[in-house]
Structure formats: structure tokens, C-alpha cells
């Protein structure tokens, strides 16, 4: 079968799965504050926890463009389920695929694919957000192990994960470690009261003299920031970019449906030009957002060095569009949009998170500006 | 275009703007001298892989391999031959 056709079939399967097994329960997950293990199991059985992995590690071999389209389908139905894909497949899985040793890949990637193990990425700390190089969690060499101490915060799926990629600092520079939940001294506590991502098992992870075997270093000692964090955030941004398209598309569909059903002043509200203005803007921006993501995906498929920057641009734009379209979807729903009876209320909350995770919009703006200041500088010719 | 020229061209197109009027020497440590930003190492990895058709692995990641034009050229000579 043609490769594109195979991939399209997987995305279509994801759409049907999302419609049947995810979307109808998204509000319930949000309310209960957890993703049921049964859903994770079903996703693993379908290969949806490893769609971008090669076959040898149990993956479905979606290329970056189709992986993006897959992410959109899951994200439209439920942001927390999409967050599982973002963290487990993109941040953890794809980073390990890129930089783990062969034996580490053998040990972990098949387990991720089969759902036997869920991974989480532990970078942020109570005092460390955007300045990722400032991590305070420490490591110290001790015989055949490293001893880790510190506190990680806002760790998505941190309360559910079976293992973590922990970023820590020490004598030989920032380093990434694969830390298993069962290692003595590791504890997690769920964070309650989240604006969104309520079913994403967001947690504080405490490391109290956790002894990590030396073979669990990921990507080499001292390479934790340059290669592991940057690779993980790049994959994370790509996934979040599609998550933004997902929220915006779902919100657009909701505003269209509602405006065609709802009547005021004796006519359907879509007939009002000011409502049409919001819908017209939403359609345009959703299309633009998806086009940016597809372009970034094509560049990733080509392994172009500029893909990192195009991904940052896509993430910045799509998260902004998600926020704007979700806000307008609430606006069109009026009072109903302010109530959890309608999904737009949740989409509005979820959109905000996308402007913060994997690098805030302001960090993206700085990155993009620096890129633009180089790329579009025409040196004047001196006479 | 020689390997050195290709690498120089790529690095020069990514210099941080506070340094883009400076002349980059072949043995300048681009990271220590602040010629490039923190994302550059990853972009450089992608460039090297695509341009020279190799796949870098875990044990190639030592930043010393990529710290100057000369070190990148010598790393590539070890990997690919002259």
C-alpha cells in the first residue's frame, strides 16, 4: 500500500477512535481530574502511544506531517489525552529515539509503545520555568551511581508516569537521567486547582537522595541542556503547535454549530455580520495555523536545520490562534459558553495553557525575533 | 565548496546579532565566545547530518566536536575520511 495512504488510514482510525472513545468522555476526565488507565491501554493497543516510532520499537512510522495530523485528531477530542501523546511520545519517546543508547532504546521504547511504561519529562522546578538552564535539582557522583536531589514542578503525567527524564545540574554540567518511579526517594504529588490540563496528572516530583545507575544517563554527562532539553522542547513544541490547531479547529466547529442552531431576534445568530466576522477570522486563522504546522512538519521530514525555528513559529502562532478562536467561540455561545455543559468552556481554559507550555509565547517571540534579525538583515552597501 | 567553507557559511548565517560584524576565525570556540545561541548546537547537528549525509549518535555528542570550524572539520574527517 502507498505510504501516504497507510498513514492517512492511521489518522482516519485516530479520528474514529477519538469520536467514539475520547470526545464523549473528555468533560468527565476534566471533572474527575484523571485519564482512565483503560483509555491509555486502548490507545497503546492501537499503537497510538508510539505513532511516530519506527516499527522495530513498536511504532506506526508516521512521518512528522502525519504525526501532526494524528495529534490534531486526538487533541480536538481531549487536550489531556493529547498531552499524554505530547509528553509520552514526543518529549520522552522521540528524544530517546534520537539520543538514547541502543540498549536504552531497547529497554524503554517498546515499553512506551505497548503502554507498559508511561514516561514524563521533569525539567521545570518551583523557581525555574523559562530559564531552563537554571535548574537547581542536583546530581553528585557516587561510585556506580549518581545521587539526585531536588524538586520538579508542573510535570505533566508526573503523578502517573512509571519513569522520568530528569534534568539536573552538577560538576560536569546539566545532565539528563532516566529515573524510575520505583527508585527509592522519588515521590510525586498531584497539583490540584489547575486552570486546565486537569486530567493530565500534573504533579510535583520530589527527589530525595535518589540513586540513579550511571547507565541511566541519557545523551552523555553534560549534554542535558544542549541536546536533551533542546531536542525534547523542539518535539514538544511541534506537538503543542498541532495541539493549538486542534483546539482552534474544535472551537471553530463548535461556534459554527452553535451559530447555526441558536436564534435571537427572530433569526439564526450566524446571520448577524458581527458573528460572521468572528467565524470568518476563525476560519482564516485556523487554516493559516494548520499551514504553518504542515510546513514545519515537511521541514522536519526533510530534517532541515530550519525546522526548529519553523516549529517555534508554528507553536507561537497556533497557540495564539487557539486562544483567540476559543475566546470567540465562548463569546458566540454567550452565557452557555461560560458553563461546562458546552465544550467551548473547556477549550477556552485549555487554550491558555498552550501559550505557556514548552516555552511561553514571549520566549518564542524572542527566539523568532533573533531569527528574523539575522535572516532578514540586508547589509547596506557602502559607497 | 569545501567542508570548511560550508560549515563557515552555516555558522555565519546563525551568528547572534551582537557578534555578526566580528570576524569568525577557524579555531574560535563559537559557544564560549557567544557567537551562537543555545539552540544552535541542535541546528548544527541537523545541518551536519543533512549536508554530509551522516547520522550522529549518542557518543558523538561531545560539544568539543562542534566547538569551532576546525573541530567540526576534524570530527568529519574522522567520521568520513578526508
Best of B22, B58, B59, B66 to disrupt the A interface (most A CBs within 10 Å) is B58
- Angle (deg, nearest 10), helices B40-52 and A307-333: 120
Residues 6 or more apart from B67 whose CB is under 8 A from it?
B29, B30, B31, B32
Which residues in B lie closer than 8 A to residue A100 (C-beta atoms)?
58
- Taking chain A (383 residues) in consecutive chunks of 10 residues, what is each chunk's mean pLDDT? 91 98 98 96 97 97 98 98 97 97 95 97 94 94 98 98 98 97 98 96 98 97 94 97 98 98 98 98 98 98 96 98 98 97 98 96 95 85 51
Tell me what pLDDT residue A1 has. Answer: 62
Give the global pTM: 0.95
User: Tens of pLDDT along B26-76?
Assistant: 999 998 888 888 889 999 999 999 999 999 988 898 888 999 999 999 999
The answer to whether the Cβ–Cβ distance between A101 and B46 falls below 8 Å is no
The answer to whether the Cβ–Cβ distance between B13 and A308 falls below 8 Å is no
Which residues in A lie closer than 8 A to residue B44 (C-beta atoms)?
305
A234 close to A308: Cβ distance less than 8 angstroms: yes
Please give the ipTM for the structure prediction. 0.90
Q: Which of A171, A250, A358, A366 is catalytic?
A: A358
* Cα distances (angstroms) measured from residue A318 to each of A210, A277, A292, A314: 39, 19, 8, 6
Considering only CB atoms, A219 lies closest to which of B10, B46, B58, namely B58
| Contacts across the A-B interface (CB distance below 8 Å) | 61
Inform me whether the C-beta atom of residue B58 falls under 8 Å from chain A C-beta atoms.
yes
The answer to whether the Cβ–Cβ distance between B41 and A307 falls below 8 Å is no
Please confirm, yes or no, whether A182 is among the known catalytic residues: no
The label of the residue with cell 505497548 reads A114
Which residues in B lie closer than 8 A to residue A306 (C-beta atoms)?
43
* Cα distances (angstroms) measured from residue B65 to each of A175, A272, A358, B8, B31: 18, 63, 28, 15, 12
**B41 vs B37: CA distance, rounded Å:** 8
The label of the residue with cell 472513545 reads A21
Amino acid at each position: 500500500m502507498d505510504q501516504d495512504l497507510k498513514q492517512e488510514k492511521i489518522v482516519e482510525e485516530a479520528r474514529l477512535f477519538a469520536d467514539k472513545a475520547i470526545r464523549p468522555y473528555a468533560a468527565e476526565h476534566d471533572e474527575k481530574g484523571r485519564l482512565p488507565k483503560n483509555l491509555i491501554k486502548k490507545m497503546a493497543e492501537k499503537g497510538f502511544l508510539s505513532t511516530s516510532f519506527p516499527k522495530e520499537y513498536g511504532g506506526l512510522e508516521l512521518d512528522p506531517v502525519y504525526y501532526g495530523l494524528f495529534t490534531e485528531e486526538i487533541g480536538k477530542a481531549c487536550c489531556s489525552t493529547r498531552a499524554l501523546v505530547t509528553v509520552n511520545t514526543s518529549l520522552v519517546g522521540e528524544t530517546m529515539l534520537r539520543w538514547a543508547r541502543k540498549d536504552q532504546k531497547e529497554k524503554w521504547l517498546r515499553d512506551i509503545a505497548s503502554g507498559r511504561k508511561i514516561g514524563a519529562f521533569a525539567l521545570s522546578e518551583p523557581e525555574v520555568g523559562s530559564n531552563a538552564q537554571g535548574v537547581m535539582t542536583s546530581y553528585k557522583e557516587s561510585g556506580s551511581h549518581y545521587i539526585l536531589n531536588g524538586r520538579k514542578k508542573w510535570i505533566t503525567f508526573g503523578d502517573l508516569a512509571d519513569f522520568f527524564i530528569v534534568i539536573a545540574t552538577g560538576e560536569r554540567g546539566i545532565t539528563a537521567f532516566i529515573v524510575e518511579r520505583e527508585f527509592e526517594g522519588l515521590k510525586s504529588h498531584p497539583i490540584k486547582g489547575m486552570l486546565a490540563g486537569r486530567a493530565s496528572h500534573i504533579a510535583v516530583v520530589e527527589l530525595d537522595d535518589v540513586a540513579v545507575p550511571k547507565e541511566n544517563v541519557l545523551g552523555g554527562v553534560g549534554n542535558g541542556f544542549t541536546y536533551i532539553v533542546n531536542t525534547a522542547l523542539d518535539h514538544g513544541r511541534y506537538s503543542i503547535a498541532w495541539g493549538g490547531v486542534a483546539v482552534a479547529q474544535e472551537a471553530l466547529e463548535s461556534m459554527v454549530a452553535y451559530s447555526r442552531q441558536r436564534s435571537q431576534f427572530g433569526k439564526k445568530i450566524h446571520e448577524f455580520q458581527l458573528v460572521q466576522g468572528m467565524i470568518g477570522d476563525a476560519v482564516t486563522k485556523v487554516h493559516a495555523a494548520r499551514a504553518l504546522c504542515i510546513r514545519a512538519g515537511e521541514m522536519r521530514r526533510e530534517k532541515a536545520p530550519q525546522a526548529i525555528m519553523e516549529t517555534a513559529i508554528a507553536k507561537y502562532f497556533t497557540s495564539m490562534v487557539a486562544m483567540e478562536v476559543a475566546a470567540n467561540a465562548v463569546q458566540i455561545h454567550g452565557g452557555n459558553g461560560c458553563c461546562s455543559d458546552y465544550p467551548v468552556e473547556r477549550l477556552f481554559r485549555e487554550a491558555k495553557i498552550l501559550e505557556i507550555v514548552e516555552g511561553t509565547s514571549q520566549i518564542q517571540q524572542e527566539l523568532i525575533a533573533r531569527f528574523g534579525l539575522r535572516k532578514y538583515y540586508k547589509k547596506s552597501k557602502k559607497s | 565548496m569545501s567542508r570548511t567553507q560550508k560549515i563557515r557559511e552555516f555558522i555565519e548565517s546563525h551568528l547572534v546579532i551582537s557578534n555578526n560584524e566580528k570576524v569568525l576565525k577557524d579555531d574560535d570556540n563559537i559557544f564560549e565566545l557567544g557567537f551562537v545561541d543555545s539552540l544552535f548546537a541542535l541546528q548544527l547537528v541537523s545541518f551536519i547530518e543533512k549536508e554530509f549525509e551522516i547520522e550522529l549518535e549518542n557518543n558523538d555528542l561531545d560539544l568539543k566536536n562542534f566547538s569551532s570550524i576546525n573541530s567540526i572539520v576534524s570530527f568529519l574527517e574522522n567520521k568520513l575520511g578526508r
